[in-house]
Amino acid sequence: MHNKDKFPDGMIPLGTETFQFSCHSGVKCFTSCCKNVDMFLFPYDIIRLKNRLGVDSESFMRRYTRLSTGSHPYFPAVMLKLSDDVEKSCPFLTDKGCSVYSDRPSACRTYPLERAVDRTPERGSCLDYYFLTNHSYCLGHQEKKSCTTLQWIREQQLQEYNNMNDRWAELDTIFLTNPWKGEGSGGPLQQIAFMVCYNVDEFKLFVARQHIFEQFQMSNKQKNRFESDDVALLQFGFDWLKFFLTGKSSLQQR
Ligand code: SF4
Ligand code: SF4
C-alpha cells in the first residue's frame, strides 16, 4: 500500500493497477508532445544521444543543450535546446517521428508517467513512485491498450535509464550541500564536476592527463572497460566525484 499523505493533493501514485494508454504514428496528436517542450537531460541521456549522433559530448552540449537553474543553486541543470522554428520543435523530430527513438531521453520514455523517487536516508534504499499525467492534447489516453507501470518500464526499456539517473541524483544530493570548498558556483571544482557529468569525452582526456586511474586500486580489465565504454566511465566518474568531494566512495586509493 502507498503512503498517499506524502504527495501533494491530487497526486496518487500508481500501484499494480493498469492505466489506459498507447502512442503510435496513427494517433491524431502524433508528435504534438515533441514541440515546445521543457525537457531536462541527464548525464546518461547525453551519452546515449551523443553516441547515437556520432558526435563528441562537447559538440553535443554546445549544439543541443542549454543551461538552466536546477532544483538548487549549487549546480546547473541541462535542458534540451529546441529548434528555432515557429513550433519550437525538438531538434530530433522529423516528418516520420523521432529520429533517435531507441536512444530517446528518459523523459520521452517515461511519458505519460512521471517518476518520483523517495530517498529517505534512514531507510537506506530508494523507493520510486509513478504518476499518470494527462495533458489535454495527448490522445493516447483514449486508445484501448492498457498496461501496468512494470510493463511500461519493461516496454520502454526504462530500467537502465532509471538506474543511471538514480546514481546521478545521489550525486546531485551531494551538490545540494554546496561542496565546492568555498569556491562557490562556477568555480574550478564545480566545472570539474560538470565535465564529469556532462562531457564524458573531455573527462576521458582529463583522466589520462591526470593519471587518475593509477591513483586507485583497479584491475587492467576494469581500466580497459573505463577507457572503452562511456557509460562505465560515467559510473567511475560518479564514484570519483564522491571520493573527491566527500572522501567516501567505493573507490580504494592505492
Ligand atoms: S527526443 Fe524524440 S521523442 Fe523525445 S521529444 Fe525529441 S523527437 Fe520527441
Ligand atoms: S499520444 Fe501523447 S505521447 Fe503519443 S504522440 Fe500524441 S501527445 Fe505524444
Our mutation pick for probing the ligand 1 site, out of 35, 42, 48, 98, counting the most ligand atoms within 8 A of Cβ, is 98
Residue 3 has a pLDDT of 55
Residue 120 has a pLDDT of 67
Residue ranges in 72-229 assigned as alpha helix (H): 106-110, 149-155, 159-175, 188-198, 200-209, 220-228
Q: Do 77 and 69 contact (CB within 8 A), yes or no?
A: yes
Residue 1 has a pLDDT of 40
Tell me the ligand closest to 97's alpha carbon: 1
Distance (Å, rounded) from C-alpha 180 to C-alpha 188?
9
Residue 177 has a pLDDT of 93
Distance (Å, rounded) from C-alpha 31 to C-alpha 233?
34
Cell of 161: 535509464
SS3 213: helix
Domain boundaries along the sequence of the chain: 4-170, 184-246
SS3 156: coil
Tell me the ligand closest to 93's alpha carbon: 1
Residue 186 has a pLDDT of 85
Residue of 3, 8, 12, 20 whose CA lies nearest to 112: 20
Residue 124 has a pLDDT of 58
Residue 118 has a pLDDT of 79
**Ligand 2 pocket residue status of 30, Cβ below 6 Å:** yes
pTM: 0.93
pLDDT tens series, the chain, 254 aa? 455 567 777 778 898 999 999 999 999 999 999 999 999 999 999 999 999 999 999 999 999 999 999 889 999 999 999 999 999 999 999 999 999 999 999 999 999 999 988 776 565 567 889 999 989 999 999 999 999 999 999 999 999 999 999 999 999 999 999 999 889 788 999 999 999 999 999 999 999 999 999 999 999 999 999 999 999 999 999 999 999 999 988 999 99
